[in-house]
Amino acid sequence: MKKHNFNAGPSILPNEVIKDSSKAILELDNIGLSLLEISHRSKEFASIMERACDKVLKLANLQGKGYKALFIQGGASQQFIMAAYNLLENKAGYINTGSWSSKAMKEASLLGNVIEIASSKDQNFNYIPKKYTIPNDCDYLHITTNNTIFGTQYKTFPSTSVPLIADMSSDIFSKNIDYSEFDLFYAGAQKNIGPAGVTLVVLKEQILNKVSRSIPSILDYSIHIKSDSMFNTPPVFSVYTTLLNLIWIENQGGIENLETNNNSKANLIYNEIDRNSCFKGFANKEDRSIMNATFSLIDDNLTEKFNELCNMENITGIKGHRSVGGYRASIYNALPIASVRVLVDCMQKLENNL
């Protein structure tokens, strides 16, 4: 039986996406070859890459607005240094909302002056800072829209005159936002849009070519743009499976419908966390993520019992990150609400059997 998959990343993908990508591994579109053995320069793969980039811009409502979509390797972690390489000349502002923001700052500081505009470290990152001023001589402001480990998420974005850059790895395409507020955003595919191995980068072309340093080709956005994400061999499987998932998003009725569904899932789990006398939530209520719900038992002695209840129901992946402890239910786009109901049932069984 298939498990209820609450993994934080790599994480759940829609069943039909996994089926169709498995089929393509055996044979791609009746061409007599596997997806894994065609040239990335073939017309078949060129079309896959082009369709994937087009779908991204279409879903983000950025077509015809001066943006490019790229698929690059190296993970979101590579974007921490790549964004700075291409955009940081003097100083850049970062809002520090957790481990991933901190890592982004560490990398960027190798190349320039990194200013921590605000931080929620004082409360172990359980909230999103709201009051701060952004110096208008920053080359850019960097935020992490959803903090996968701590379970916090921006509900509105900082308004600023400097270019806004975001790590959207764990909430891209989970809700309708105005993507044009951002000059560059990136997401490791393996949380919400595809398998591991590829990172989506969407950027406004006009922000490039403003730094004086020379940029290694593999880290140069302009070179990736010029070569249509094929400067070197792209991860063909990951790009193809991401394309299938983007098509799945369209077939769900687009991001709006996913958002409605994601909100229902989030309400279900958070209402139970707040109602149930055995549990408490980690993140500040107003900053709670609709993708990663962090919570813990009030009495640690119930851990074994609760874990057993979850195991019996085939629930997997809810152990919290070590820097928060407790539990984390990742409820990404592809997770059915039925899985959340099963988890909520286990929480109720625990309370009822005391």
Ligand X SMILES: *Cc1c(COP(=O)(O)O)cnc(C)c1O
Contacts with ligand X by CB under 6 A lie at 9, 75-77, 100, 144, 148, 167, 169-170, 188, 191
Nearer to ligand X, 62 or 198 (CB): 198
Distance separating alpha carbons of residues 260 and 48, to the nearest angstrom = 29
Q: How far is the CB of 76 from ligand X (least distance, A)?
A: 4
Residue matched to tokens 């490039």: 208
How far from each other are the two terminal CA atoms of the chain, in whole angstroms?
A: 29
Compute the half-sphere exposure of residue 189: CA atoms within 13 Å on the CB side of its CA. 27
Q: How far is the CB of 106 from ligand X (least distance, A)?
A: 13
Select from 182, 241, 184 the least CA-distant residue to 22.
241
Q: How far is the CB of 325 from ligand X (least distance, A)?
A: 18
Nearer to ligand X, 77 or 348 (CB): 77
For 214-277, give the DSSP string: ---GGG-HHHHHHTTT-SS---HHHHHHHHHHHHHHHHTTHHHHHHHHHHHHHHHHHHHHHH-T
In this chain, which residue has its C-beta nearest to ligand X? Answer: 75
Q: How far is the CB of 228 from ligand X (least distance, A)?
A: 22
Catalytic residue among 55, 68, 139, 167: 167
Nearer to ligand X, 276 or 330 (CB): 330
Catalytic residue among 171, 191, 220, 265: 191
Catalytic residue among 55, 68, 100, 139: 100
Nearer to ligand X, 186 or 306 (CB): 186
Decide if 284 contacts 127 (C-beta within 8 A): yes
Q: How far is the CB of 71 from ligand X (least distance, A)?
A: 13
Is 191 one of the annotated active-site residues of the chain?
A: yes
Is 100 one of the annotated active-site residues of the chain?
A: yes
Residue matched to tokens 């989970």: 174
Is 248 one of the annotated active-site residues of the chain?
A: no
Alpha-carbon distance values, 274 to 79, 293, 329 (Å) = 37, 12, 15
Nearer to ligand X, 107 or 139 (CB): 107
Q: Which residues of 225-241 are buried (b: 16+ CB within 10 A; e: fewer)?
A: beeebebeebbbbbbbb
Residues annotated as part of the active site: 100, 167, 191
